Structure 1
């Protein structure tokens, strides 16, 4: 069930079990959906859209998740409704050192999503180290 109380059935697709140990599923089948939210990439920006926490991956991951939660909440959803998450980072190795910040928040929400992690040359603002793009269904 999604956070809106609508009957949404989520079935995980994991032909190989290894990804579950990393906190994500290979796929998710969603049936009975009533609403789908496609979120723009969320990074470590303040309410005015200015980047913050330059050089601090842990703080950027934390704020990126908080900003994603704000978008979800504005649509009447929460992290528990996220079915797909794409993580973009300018430094995969440093992000992996702080990966628990992200997976911990997802676990606390009771969700493992289909997920992709991509290393990119740069993001919208040169000081951004991470950006989260999500799809949620409720």
Structure 2
């Protein structure tokens, strides 16, 4: 005897997640986070037990070291936009902190070192 046929629209799709469930239906992050925005954990005591798994993991990652939004999204294996919404919630709750105003543009010395390194690396090419 053949099992009953289930119409395609009624079949479960376990590999597809409903991303709106991760964000509570929200579609926009509260903060204008860029891919290179660095985030750090401010609350090292909270264990994240009452958070969504993605939020708890993002908090753990930011406790280890300062991380950019793009890296957090990659390590969570979630779309960047969804990750931005999750990170915005963590900023609102005081678990994560944005860099101070002006701090993101104060990397001239780092850019200068990168430029020197590129000139050194590609000096043989010319």
Is the TM-score greater than 0.5? no
State the structure with more CA Rg. Answer: 2
| Higher relative contact order structure (alpha carbons within 8 Å, sequence separation ≥ 6) | 1
In terms of fraction of residues, the more helix-rich structure is 2
- Give the TM-score normalised by the residue count of structure 1: 0.27
